[in-house]
Amino acid sequence: MIIAKIIFNINLIVWLIPPLRQKGCRYFLFFLLLALSDPGWFILNYIQHNDSSFYYLIISTLILAAVLNKNQLLLLLIPMSFIKIFLNNPEIRIFTIIIHFILLLYFLREFLLIISRESRIVLFNLILLLYEASVLFKFSASYFITAGYLFFYITTAFEILIAVFFSLVNEKNSPVLKLQMEPDQGGKFL
């Protein structure tokens, strides 16, 4: 349990840095909400022990609205607040997983559009896609009691590396891998 607390505390601290690097970029609000979500949960849990399912559903909804730049999605918070009354925690987790699956599809779409339009892979978008996939795995792992906790903390430790990447690289200065999508004049791919 000591290792789990160490991983949690390092993760908590490391994720505070990416919003500083992402300031002025398209996903600044996404990173700001990520940075504030775990400390917010830590404070709320310190005041009153509670299950995190509903809290992360609200945070996930805010993140979805921030990424899609749709203020109308903030209206989803109204029905989300009633979800807690009618659904139990495992059912609430399903809604959170659905929201993160939508985010994964959005980031995948962005990633593929850049590849098809510009014939290049932007590492920032690739790591963003990888992060969202890890979040989906982490939320899914929370359903399993014994092996799930181990996978949860391994994924959290991996996300520390992702946070370090986002602390050093933003969308504007991201390394790019050029792709040769069309044949050269001789008919061969380079």
Domain membership flag for residue 186: no
> Which helix (DSSP H) or strand (DSSP E) does residue 177 occupy?
strand 176-178
Residue 99's domain spans which residues?
A: 2-178
Within-domain flag for 97: yes
Classify residue 187: in a domain, yes or no.
no
**Is 163 contained in some domain?**
yes
Is 183 among the domain residues?
no
Distance from C-alpha of 166 to C-alpha of 74, rounded to nearest angstrom: 26
* Tens-binned pLDDT, residue by residue, of the chain (190 aa): 788 889 888 999 999 999 999 998 999 999 999 999 988 888 888 888 777 888 888 899 889 988 987 776 667 777 777 777 777 877 888 888 999 999 999 999 999 999 989 888 889 999 999 999 999 988 887 766 556 677 888 888 999 999 999 999 998 888 887 776 565 555 555 5
- The count of residues in the chain is 190
Round to whole Å and give the CA distance between 76 and 67: 14
Residues 148 and 142: beta-carbon distance below 8 Å: yes
Q: How many structural domains comprise the chain? A: 1
* Contacts for 140-145: CB closer than 8 Å, 24+ residues apart: 140/97, 142/93, 143/90, 143/93
pTM, whole model, 2 decimals? 0.85
Helical ranges in 18-88 per DSSP H: 18-22, 28-47, 53-68, 77-86
Put residue 119 in one of left, alpha, beta given phi > 0 → left and psi -120 to 50 → alpha: left
Q: Is 64 inside any structural domain?
A: yes
